[in-house]
Structure 1
Amino acid sequence: MSAIPSHAQGPADTPLLEETIGANLDRAVAAFPDREALVDLATGRRWSYRELDRDVNRVALGLLALGVGRGDRVGIWAPNCAEWFLVQYATARVGAILVTVNPGYRTHELAYVLRQSGIRTVVAARSFKTSDYAAMLAEAAPDCPYLRDILLIGSPEWDALLAAGEAADPGQLTEIGAQLSPTDPINIQYTSGTTGFPKGATLSHRNILNNGYFVGELCHYTEADRICVPVPFYHCFGMVMGNLAATSHGACVVIPAPAFDPAATLAAVAAERCTSLYGVPTMFIAELNDPGFDGYDLSSLRTGIMAGSPCPIEVMKQVVERMGMRDVSICYGMTETSPVSTQTRTDDPLERRVSTVGRVGPHLEVKVVDPVTGATVERGAPGELCTRGYSVMLGYWEEPAKTAEAVDAGGWMHTGDLAVMDEEGYLNITGRIKDMVIRGGENIYPREIEEFLYTHPDIVDAQVIGVPDAKYGEELMAWIRLRPGAEPLTPEALRAFCAGRIAHYKIPRYVHLVDEFPMTVTGKIRKVEMREQAVELLGLHDAAQTRHA
């Protein structure tokens, strides 16, 4: 019997949505005019689908009055708020390309994105946390030749945009909508580059509307669902898996706070009777460890999504048991694929749902290939995960060479992630190709060790990296967060815990106790920064200079 290749195709029984985001929203408004569509808890504002349609159109007509047209780039730079949501749908209605700007950017990064994407109009918060957005925009603007308008939310300019939209002829939107195509570019999202400047993944209506829709289908969303979205809108997790999954099913989006706060998130679920909750693993860990956790009524929760970075099995089990999210789903993907490629299903056995990233999504295709030869490997063998289908981006904005490096001639997006596909098509992500540690010729996947460390009763979170070593090339270092009140964990104590349970070469040589990890604003651990800090902490400068074959 021949070995089965690591290749799988998703079901295609439910057809793709061949419509624009605006047309899809029209259908939801017609079907559910009086159902709640959006709740912004920080400001106490609420919208039914009818009211949402009115305000989206007001913003869309205001943008037209400013001269924004099809294909023009409109930046949005703000934490999660209702205005962000309105601008997302308004730009889609007029065919403008929404450029989502990371709320954590400083002036240098902001200026790069403004210039590289050719942003014409920016909608921004005045400030957020320690960032003075207004001042940074004023500083960056002179070097951005395409920039015409800066609209600060709540400013006279923003109010003027709304007033212009109120006075305009809504018939314009009908005419424009008829000219738009589902394959038009609609969104540029800058992927967080670990080296050099980020790249602008360019996505179409078809890319992100279908991805949001099918993610929602696999969560069994209906108009009765209320989705708590504490993940950032500027990223696909918030604006696609959150907003578009909701509106394509007539469901409601609940914004618990402008930025993630575990207590505010738990309070929102309880007060708004949310049926679904989203988060990256670090968010769920923070919620589960919130001092007031037991005081929140989470009985309304049915489902939710954990994604964004590898999901620890032990955390997933607690989410099911302690939060009541019996149908919780793990999703895997990347910005360049709109984002979701694989997802667990509600009818998957619990063990599959807590230990894999599921199977390929509808209308998509995945394979696992040898990173060197490109040949598809047998099931059970590790390799690089590639994906193909409607979700693959149009390309990196004005960077054809970088696009060609990522998407091959066959249309396959090369993810850079290491994965294993089992006999039934379930996938495990075992790490990043660049995160793999080679210690004395042994290939070590940090994810495997991290999963083991989660079984230690005092460890809340663990991240394993490779650090330079003169003898072995690389050695293992564990960065660990302990439970409050736990005794400090020494390297010797950790080694004793590991001894006899994992191979000796997988036991971390170094242990570093931390309160938090270096992270991107989306909650992804920055292992590159951890490695840089480790060289300083451990005095490994000489080892870092050692050359190895």
Structure 2
Amino acid sequence: MDTVRPAEPSYDSGISEVPLLGDTIGGNLDRVAARVPDSDALVEHARGRRWTYREFVADVDALALGLLEAGIGKGDRVGVWAPNRAEWTLTQYATAKIGAVLVNINPSYRLHELEFVLNQAGVRMLVSAQRFKTSEYTEMIEQVRPNCPGLEQVVLFDDATWDALFDRGRAGDAARLAAAQAELGADDPINIQYTSGTTGFPKGATLSHHNILNNGFFVGELCGYSEVDRVAIVPPFYHCFGMVMGNLACTSHGAAVIIPSEGFDARTALEAVSAERCTSLYGVPTMFIAELDHPDFDTFDLSSLRTGIMAGSPCPAEVMKQVIDRMGMTEVSICYGMTETSPVSTQTRADDSLDRRVSTVGRVGPHLEVKVVDPVTGLTVPRGESGELCTRGYSVMLGYWEQPDKTAEVIDEARWMHTGDLAVMDSAGYVSITGRIKDMVIRGGENVYPREIEEFLYTHPDIVDAQVIGVPDARYGEELMVWARLRAGAPELTAEALREFCTGKLAHYKIPRYVHVVDDFPMTVTGKIRKVEMRQQAKDLLGLED
């Protein structure tokens, strides 16, 4: 009699012959700079500024000593509020050198959010740009400062306060910095990154040297980085994508950080890749869509590109194929993760097939574990079945800053981080993200995953981008609505026309009832679609408040 073999569980661990790094961010930078002192470390394309590794470490050390002279030391929180500028990166490494905890502040924050973060993190010094786009940071800081009693010092870029910090550092005693570095451990908290906070105030994910240095290093390893690579970092530094997958992946390999501009602009991103002969380009899918759609795209020489990373939100298959075919990024990688896991948990490899790279978020990263569990029972589901993705290992945050109750909601007793994402693991360990647990739409008792419908809608000849949400419905509980961006010159897209396109290709309950054509989607500064905001706007548009 044949025996029935039990299905393989949805669990995988990342085996690696390359050991974890055991040093601090500052120590790692010093070692790499000693190896490649004359290689480019940092290039700010828009301003024409550049640093070799020797010059970069000299400025980092001067700023670090300046912070020490200003009374900032190990464990003190230093906020940084600015778009992508060289000063942001210098501040990142200078604070790491002395063990101060860098508090990343979202460049789009308004007054109440700024005040909350400054107080919740206990920021003693705020390093800031004077303005960005329509935000006058200097004025906003002055407005909140009376309500932030712990904020002792404000230092502004392009201002005498910034110059003074450097001047004090250059005149300081290098032995004092060496002594400060000697007091640091790799497991010390070094960074607080606030999550998006779609409901209520954001939470501060607290990360160590060990967390983010290793994550940046292994992301870079899987991208094949060395000192010959030049990485155009378009996503904002305040987010893990920019400062970990970007800056730390580069500096841990001796590669060059290329900053195209302060904020995302498709033209300047393409210009920077061409002018600096970048080998790698980063972005969320909406950024790549904008670059590919730029009217002058074909005029830029992108022949230096070989790799890059698409991450931050689900990557449409059609966009991925164009990035490979039209941008020459044959080794482009998909990464999946979250702020709380430093961020990357899974990543595709350069030798993965095109199908793997357009339909999955890759396999578990080195030295990490992932599993897919039943959200109700917590038991690991068989491979091929959907459940909640969990991850464990060096990357999991220390916790939410001074919020142990919130930490306990997402990190269980066995140190598994519960992501809130729905996923399926196949027989080879590749993971596909099928949506957020909270984004799942239940229509008439049927579970509908927006990602599946969005992928199908990308095959419509007139749709450039599509986002599907659930809206209230008296009969079915929820109905489907698509927000769509159309190609220039496309005819009007009606619900009837879309239904005709979908009929026979999608199950009837997966066909959107409502269509809303837009020029742009509500987004966070990192390019993530804010479906919470879309759902609220949809209620108003459709008169569904009741």
TM-score (norm 2): 0.99
> Of 83, 86, 105, which aligns to 1:82?
86
Please name the residue that 2:493 is paired with.
489
Please name the residue that 2:192 is paired with.
188
> Of 386, 392, 399, which aligns to 1:395?
399
| Structure 1 residue 540, shift from structure 2 partner | 1.1
Please name the residue that 1:340 is paired with.
344
List per-residue Cα deviations over 1:318-355 (Å, max 9, x = no partner).
10001000000000000000000000000111110111
| Structure 1 residue 12, shift from structure 2 partner | 2.8
| Structure 1 residue 468, shift from structure 2 partner | 0.2
One-letter code aligned to 2:536? E
Q: Aligned equivalents of 2:306 and 2:103: distance in 1?
A: 33
Please name the residue that 1:462 is paired with.
466
In the alignment, structure 2 segments of 5+ residues that lack a partner are: none
> Of 191, 204, 207, which aligns to 2:211?
207
> Of 256, 264, 274, which aligns to 1:252?
256
Query: Which of 97-106 and 532-541 deviates more?
Result: 532-541
| Structure 1 residue 142, shift from structure 2 partner | 1.0
| Structure 1 residue 360, shift from structure 2 partner | 0.2
Q: Aligned equivalents of 2:425 and 2:543: distance in 1?
A: 39
Q: Aligned equivalents of 2:101 and 2:247: distance in 1?
A: 17
| Structure 1 residue 262, shift from structure 2 partner | 0.2
Q: 1:457-536 alignment to 2 at 5 Å?
A: 457-536=461-540
2:347 is equivalent to residue 304 of structure 1: no
> Of 86, 97, 117, which aligns to 1:113?
117
Structure 1 stretches of 4+ with a deviation exceeding 6 A read none
SS in 2 for 1:14: coil
Please name the residue that 2:269 is paired with.
265
Please name the residue that 2:299 is paired with.
295
Please name the residue that 1:170 is paired with.
174
Please name the residue that 1:313 is paired with.
317
Please name the residue that 1:351 is paired with.
355
> Of 367, 384, 387, which aligns to 2:388?
384
Q: Aligned equivalents of 2:30 and 2:329: distance in 1?
A: 31
List per-residue Cα deviations over 1:349-371 (Å, max 9, x = no partner).
11101111000000000000001
Please name the residue that 2:159 is paired with.
155
List per-residue Cα deviations over 1:396-426 (Å, max 9, x = no partner).
0000000000100000000000000000000
> Of 368, 372, 380, which aligns to 1:364?
368
| Structure 1 residue 499, shift from structure 2 partner | 0.4
Please name the residue that 1:51 is paired with.
55
> Of 38, 41, 64, which aligns to 2:42?
38
Q: Aligned equivalents of 1:506 and 1:212: distance in 2?
A: 39
Please name the residue that 2:453 is paired with.
449
SS in 2 for 1:435: coil
In the alignment, structure 1 segments of 5+ residues that lack a partner are: 543-549
2:17 is equivalent to residue 16 of structure 1: no
Q: Aligned equivalents of 1:355 and 1:300: distance in 2?
A: 26
Identity %: 71
List per-residue Cα deviations over 1:212-235 (Å, max 9, x = no partner).
000000000000000000110000
| Structure 1 residue 170, shift from structure 2 partner | 1.0
One-letter code aligned to 1:5? P
| Structure 1 residue 541, shift from structure 2 partner | 2.0
List per-residue Cα deviations over 1:5-32 (Å, max 9, x = no partner).
0000001311000000000000111000
SS in 2 for 1:165: helix
Q: Aligned equivalents of 2:183 and 2:164: distance in 1?
A: 27
One-letter code aligned to 1:321? D
Q: Aligned equivalents of 2:158 and 2:459: distance in 1?
A: 49
Please name the residue that 1:242 is paired with.
246
Please name the residue that 2:96 is paired with.
92
Q: Aligned equivalents of 1:159 and 1:177: distance in 2?
A: 23
SS in 1 for 2:47: coil
2:224 is equivalent to residue 220 of structure 1: yes
Q: Aligned equivalents of 2:321 and 2:509: distance in 1?
A: 28
Please name the residue that 2:410 is paired with.
406
TM-score (norm 1): 0.98
Please name the residue that 1:547 is paired with.
none
SS in 2 for 1:99: strand
Q: Aligned equivalents of 1:76 and 1:541: distance in 2?
A: 39
Please name the residue that 1:541 is paired with.
545
| Structure 1 residue 60, shift from structure 2 partner | 0.3
SS in 1 for 2:125: strand
Q: How many residues align?
A: 542
Please name the residue that 1:62 is paired with.
66
